[in-house]
């Protein structure tokens, strides 16, 4: 059975999707971009500020379920420009501790609302 998860501390879904869904012992989080949860506006014009906001949004969603970054088992990262990888990676890593989640990182030609970074994740509830 699938259960929709939502919090007002992360950006609202702007289409036919949930912020996250729980299936069994896993939480599947939709891709997050650097939207301010209150205004719905994009935060920052560079990958550094946008990555900080994305990680904050993910952290807030996890916290709403009594979880933290240590429960993430897999992320998929979309970068508008792979040249931003080093900067992105420093901020991403600063939010995590070993053992790190598995990760895929791909360059995307375009992301929603002109975002420079989008991250989706799978989280263990155990």
Q: Give the number of other CB atoms < 10 A from CB of residue 118.
A: 21
Sheet arrangement for strand 102-107: 2-5, 20-23, 26-32, 117-124, 72-79, 102-107
Per-residue tokens: 28 = 């599947």
pLDDT in tens, 72-83: 999 999 999 999
Residue 14 has pLDDT above 90, yes or no: no
pLDDT in tens, 109-120: 999 999 999 999
- The pLDDT assigned to 74 comes to 98
Residue with more model confidence, 71 or 126: 71
């Amino acid at each position: 059975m699938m259960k929709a998860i939502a919090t007002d501390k992360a950006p609202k879904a702007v289409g036919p999707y949930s912020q996250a869904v729980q299936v069994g012992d896993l939480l599947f989080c939709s891709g997050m971009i650097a939207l301010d949860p209150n205004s719905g506006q994009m935060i920052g014009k560079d990958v550094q500020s946008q990555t900080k906001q994305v990680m904050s949004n993910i952290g807030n969603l996890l916290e709403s379920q009594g979880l933290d970054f240590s429960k993430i088992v897999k992320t998929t990262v979309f970068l508008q420009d792979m040249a931003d990888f080093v900067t992105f990676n420093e901020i991403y890593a600063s939010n995590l501790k070993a053992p790190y989640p598995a990760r895929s990182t791909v360059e995307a030609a375009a992301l929603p609302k002109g975002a420079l970074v989008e991250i989706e994740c799978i989280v263990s509830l155990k």
